[in-house]
Structure 1
Amino acid sequence: MARTSKRDLLASLPLFRACSPKELKQIEALLDEASVEAGHGLTTQGDVGTQAFVVVSGEADVVVDGRVVATVGEGEMIGEMSLLDRTSRRSATVTAKTAMELLVLDPRSFSTLLDSHPSVTRQIAIGLAERLRTYEAPVA
């Protein structure tokens, strides 16, 4: 991720595109960077969630009950559902299909992000609604 600043990277992602430069600076302080190789497990269905991830680059498969239900990529968030409801467990297993660059949020940082940045909260809600519609769509 050294090729561009983290703030510029955040500004380029759909999740953070509506944020002001001041907001991006605040969000930048909340996020850690991580790189994973293909095959690395990000979440395991049924486990308690301790992190959420924003995909900077790469792709991951989302598997529910042994069936691939989606592929996530750049600008999408992974793991936010279990951080929204801290009593629930991971709803899916997510495994990197390719090498990935990620931004990582712990529960406290995730709460701060939601409380302080309504535009990001709105984008997360939109993303969750889109995923729910996808999961509920009849299988052909």
Structure 2
Amino acid sequence: MARDAWLTHLAQVPMFAHCSNKELQQVAQATIELEVNDGKVLVREGEPGHECFIIVDGQAEVVRNGQQVAVLGPGDVVGELAPLTGGPRTASVTAVGPLQLLVIGQREFAGLLEEIPGFANRVLHDLAGRMRELDEKAYG
């Protein structure tokens, strides 16, 4: 994917939606493009994680404790908690069909948190919103 296409896609990802063009360029420079096949496990629940994934095209199934909790698609971010904590993955995520991703490693993610004003707050806001959604699904 061309860098301009990355910038357009990143601007549509809620976590990056309020970034300036210059900040989006920083994010794009921190990413690696990856394509995976149907059935590829991106992350396994309980295993350590060091990167996060942004879905560009395709879908991924999220399973926690053996139960499907979500199906993610373009614009969704997977695993952004791991680069923050270095802790174990909280769910398993598997490609459902071909999947096109942008990957941000732990070091690059930390750099973005430091370099882009307000980015850390957006990440925390996004994580808190998803935790609330999971709690509502789990506890009604």
TM-score (norm 1): 0.88
Q: Could you tell me whether the CA contact under 8 Å between 1:35 and 1:102 is conserved in 2? A: yes
Please tell me the residue identity of whatever aligns with 2:121. Answer: R
Q: Once structures 1 and 2 are overlaid, which stretch shifts more, 89-98 or 11-20?
A: 11-20
Q: Could you tell me whether the CA contact under 8 Å between 2:60 and 2:95 is conserved in 1? A: yes
Unaligned runs of 5+ in 1: none
TM-score (norm 2): 0.88
> Residues 2 and 127 of structure 1: is their aligned pair in 2 closer, same or farther, counting only changes over 3 Å?
same
> Alignment RMSD, CA only?
1.9
> Which residue is 1:79 aligned to?
79
> Which residue is 1:102 aligned to?
101
Shift of 1:15: 2.3
Shift of 1:4: 5.6
Please tell me the residue identity of whatever aligns with 2:129. Answer: E
Shift of 1:110: 0.8
Q: Could you tell me whether the CA contact under 8 Å between 1:60 and 1:97 is conserved in 2? A: yes
**Count of paired positions:** 139
Q: How do 1:25-36 and structure 2 match up within 5 A?
A: 25-36=25-36
Please tell me the residue identity of whatever aligns with 2:68. Answer: V
Match of 1:98, SS state, is strand
Q: Which has the higher strand share?
A: 2
Note if 1:49 corresponds to 2:57: no
> Which residue is 1:61 aligned to?
61
Q: Could you tell me whether the CA contact under 8 Å between 1:15 and 1:75 is conserved in 2? A: no
Unaligned runs of 5+ in 2: none
